Structure 1
Amino acid sequence: MTTVKRRLSERILQTPATIGSYRPEDVTFLLKDLSEVELELSTTAREQAIQSGVHYSEMLPIEYEPSEAYTKLFHEALLDSAERVAKAAAVTAELILAKRGRNLSLVSLARAGTPVGILIKRYLAHRHQLDVPHYSISIIRGKGIDQNALVYILQQHGADHELQFVDGWTGKGAIRKELIQACQAFEAQYGVRLNDDLAVLADPGSCSATFGTREDFLIPSACLNATVSGLVSRTVLREDLIGPDDFHGAKYYRELAAYDYSQYFVDTVCSYFPRIQEAADEEARRLLSNPPALTWQGHADMAAIQAEYGLSTINLVKPGVGETTRVLLRRIPWRILVDRIDNPNVRHIVQLTQERGVPVEAYPELSYSCCGIIQPLKGETE
């Protein structure tokens, strides 16, 4: 046995908690259950804390029963885009199989990556009769990936096992950069080199080599919070709650079970697999034969917007339909930029801005359909 494998095997980690509302065969969450801990703050209090330097992973937004308006938006988005999501998941699955082979595990990044990992796992079973393990683990901007979760996966399958990281979509590429750094840190710690490729449904930021589309459209799982993510919270990393051998933490909102659309979302998208599989095969072959460049154009565009609007940090700029939707649903928005008002991909964005009284500006230079800017709370003219 090599030194590296011995070091991996010597780690004694916790047994994965039973958490989340997805079927056990769809995903294994490698997360510590913090359901009994009070971590939630109001939107305003949380925004003030974040902009005062408290790390976002030390607290959680309050998870509400989804309103009638947001539930309606979710159903409309699902009706409009389920087939597109199915095709994007299928293309991504075909690219993963071609690049990684059959001896692999999917490792989705909680929580937006979890439903996407399930879709890819199911497509591989549907199209290729391949049952791959699927884990959902935590990665946190500025703090890295959960190394204990990675050690656990490699203990189960061996250090030579291929891991494919999965997320929902790319924005500025912050998580993509975090993953690159995290894989470097893991190799330095354990001597195991992991592939830092991040597979996503949509890559409007042009920073991923494995994606289903670069179109910036609304993936319905961005409309709701825990109730379309297995009733699991965002992940938490706090020294007083997470020990050295613990997985990163999360809460399981069992009390929201009556409003849970998590299974409904993946089941609805999967129902389109037979219809799109031929088109997905063709698109995957095209992308494999002529791989698009990684330009990181999204980050460059957001840096330009940061400078133009006098923002103190690029973290106040959230590009793409999914992130803009989240700004309107979960943060305190300052203004919304759209490439054009009549873009059908931003119809729900315009509706939400009208409901919340948030100004909308046409910004034709955008490489995304839209971009949300969070309200600065320090009295700066950001």
Structure 2
Amino acid sequence: MSRAVDRPVGIEPGLSPITGSYRQDDCQFLLTPLQAEFFSIQEKERLIQSGEKHYSEMISFESPPSEAYLTLFRNLTQRHKGRLAAEVMRLAQSIVNTRLAPITLVSLVRAGTPIGALLQRALSRHLQVDSRHYSISIIRDRGIDEQALKFLLREHRRPAAGVVFVDAWTAKGVITEELKRAIAHWNARHQEQLKDTLYVISDIGGVADIAATYEDYVIPSGILNAPVSGLISRSLLNRQIQPGQFHGCTLYEHLQQYDVSHWFLDEIEAEMDVNIVAPLPSISRGERYAQTRIYLNRWIDSYGIGDINHIKPGIAEATRVMLRRVPERLLLRDPGAEEVAHLLILAEEKGVVVEHQPNMPFNAVAFIKTIKTS
């Protein structure tokens, strides 16, 4: 009997994970490598805002980070590695306490990928738990990559009860809501029933299910793109992706000499201590959520913003705007704080207006510029 007939139902022949620059035991990406057509950031923004293309259909070329910026990343990693290691262990212990092994970590490409890899090390090396880590695509308004879910559940035969969804941070909750809808849609049509619980390091908007902290601080992996994520791009979903394939990505091989993916994992893991694991924070998610909504509505009114997706609260989201979108302005709670030094560098490079707002509940907020499309 042929292999095609033997394959689990719904799995296309030829699908296989990739690892980027990671080792396989740290991360397996369920993505389809593509030869990308690069769009300038300005053209991409115009096409998104005009409705001509969805953001997931396009990607921009990632330029190498400057030596000053890489130095800043390394310094921030050194400063926060003890804290991040403790928070990863906190999440890992929570997973062990609530899920049966074998555990399957499913991180959301791309911000969630380094955190998933750290959790994999925490579970497998420090807590001696049978676990595996996959990183898969979820896209706003397009849902999760169901082909990837089918692959890990049916091809790699990972038990549904052990699937745990992981991201680095949450802010407004857009991806959290997308995950909830996507898993409800999956569960309504498939035998394997998945829990939609989302585990994150930082939940500044009060929207995640399980969070290690609710503080807005610099998760170092959040200030770099591909060089701390296995040299993999964010995910793509365009006409290049054929039915039955995983969502797509591009491997940024030109950034190899700047790759700090392994260095980052090693630095954080070196600080992990299984004997010192604090409980999860007990503050009210509801209060944090309500406070976030108050400020979002205030900014919409005071700045005349027509699309809430153009407001990106938190250091990590603000950084992504400065690196990948066309920013209009940057709000900082304390412009002199070391936590936002990299944002000031990026703002100066791009000529972005910086405003001081000392009373807001976030360290940073960025606004995406509205582009005239007619």
The reply to whether TM is greater than 0.5 is yes
Aligned AA for 1:338?
L
Where does the alignment leave 5 or more consecutive residues of structure 1 unmatched?
1-7
Structure 1 residues 291 and 47, CA, compared in 2 at 3 Å: closer, same or farther?
same
Q: How many residues align?
A: 363
- Whole-angstrom distance in 2 between the partners of 1:244 and 1:314: 32
* 1:358 equivalent in alignment to 2:358: no
- Whole-angstrom distance in 1 between the partners of 2:329 and 2:11: 48
SS in 2 for 1:41: coil
- Matched residue, 1:323: 317
Deviation at 1:103, TM superposition (A): 2.9
- Matched residue, 1:214: 214
- Matched residue, 1:237: 237
Contact 1:121–1:131 at 8 Å: present in 2 too? no
Deviation at 1:134, TM superposition (A): 0.7
Deviation at 1:17, TM superposition (A): 4.0
- Whole-angstrom distance in 2 between the partners of 1:32 and 1:225: 19
Deviation at 1:144, TM superposition (A): 0.2
When structure 1 is superposed on structure 2, of 24-33 and 66-75 the one drifting more is 66-75
Following TM superposition, where does structure 1 have runs of at least 4 consecutive aligned residues deviating by more than 4 angstroms? Answer: none
Deviation at 1:307, TM superposition (A): 2.7
- Whole-angstrom distance in 1 between the partners of 2:138 and 2:197: 14
Deviation at 1:146, TM superposition (A): 0.2
When structure 1 is superposed on structure 2, of 135-144 and 220-229 the one drifting more is 220-229
Aligned AA for 1:38?
A
- Whole-angstrom distance in 1 between the partners of 2:257 and 2:339: 29
- Matched residue, 1:25: 25
- Matched residue, 1:50: 48
- Whole-angstrom distance in 2 between the partners of 1:147 and 1:78: 34
SS in 2 for 1:304: helix
SS in 2 for 1:282: coil
Contact 1:154–1:161 at 8 Å: present in 2 too? no
Aligned AA for 1:315?
N
Aligned AA for 2:334?
R
- Matched residue, 1:336: 330
* 1:282 equivalent in alignment to 2:278: yes
- Whole-angstrom distance in 1 between the partners of 2:366 and 2:69: 18
Deviations 1:297-323 (A, max 9, x none): 435532432232111101111110011
- Matched residue, 1:38: 36
- Whole-angstrom distance in 1 between the partners of 2:294 and 2:174: 12
- Whole-angstrom distance in 1 between the partners of 2:146 and 2:286: 27
Contact 2:332–2:358 at 8 Å: present in 1 too? yes
For 1:112-131, what aligned pairs fall within 5 Å after superposition?
A: 112-131=111-130
Among 305, 311, 314, which residue is 1:311 paired with? 305
Deviation at 1:355, TM superposition (A): 4.0
Structure 1 residues 291 and 321, CA, compared in 2 at 3 Å: closer, same or farther?
closer
Structure 1 residues 132 and 378, CA, compared in 2 at 3 Å: closer, same or farther?
same
- Matched residue, 1:3: none
Deviations 1:261-304 (A, max 9, x none): 11111111111113xx444x2334xx4xx574345343553243
Identity within the alignment, %: 38
Contact 1:208–1:294 at 8 Å: present in 2 too? no
Deviation at 1:149, TM superposition (A): 0.6
Deviation at 1:340, TM superposition (A): 3.3
- Whole-angstrom distance in 2 between the partners of 1:185 and 1:234: 23
Structure 1 residues 42 and 379, CA, compared in 2 at 3 Å: closer, same or farther?
closer
Structure 1 residues 132 and 17, CA, compared in 2 at 3 Å: closer, same or farther?
closer
For 1:192-203, what aligned pairs fall within 5 Å after superposition?
A: 192-203=192-203
- Whole-angstrom distance in 2 between the partners of 1:301 and 1:255: 40
Contact 1:88–1:202 at 8 Å: present in 2 too? no
Contact 1:337–1:360 at 8 Å: present in 2 too? yes
For 1:1-382, what aligned pairs fall within 5 Å after superposition?
A: 9-13=8-12, 14-34=14-34, 37-53=35-51, 54-155=53-154, 156-157=156-157, 160-238=160-238, 240-274=239-273, 277-279=274-276, 281-284=277-280, 287=281, 290=282, 292-294=284-286, 296-297=289-290, 298-378=292-372
- Whole-angstrom distance in 2 between the partners of 1:60 and 1:160: 32
When structure 1 is superposed on structure 2, of 179-188 and 331-340 the one drifting more is 331-340
- Whole-angstrom distance in 2 between the partners of 1:308 and 1:269: 41
Aligned AA for 2:135?
S
Contact 1:73–1:223 at 8 Å: present in 2 too? no
- Whole-angstrom distance in 1 between the partners of 2:204 and 2:120: 23
Deviation at 1:158, TM superposition (A): 5.2
Contact 2:49–2:373 at 8 Å: present in 1 too? no
SS in 2 for 1:64: coil
Deviation at 1:254, TM superposition (A): 2.2
Deviation at 1:189, TM superposition (A): 2.3
SS in 1 for 2:164: strand
- Whole-angstrom distance in 2 between the partners of 1:224 and 1:84: 19
- Whole-angstrom distance in 1 between the partners of 2:199 and 2:10: 28
Contact 2:28–2:134 at 8 Å: present in 1 too? yes
SS in 2 for 1:161: helix
Deviations 1:226-259 (A, max 9, x none): 1111000110111x21122111111112232111
When structure 1 is superposed on structure 2, of 87-96 and 292-301 the one drifting more is 292-301
SS in 2 for 1:269: helix
Aligned AA for 1:195?
K
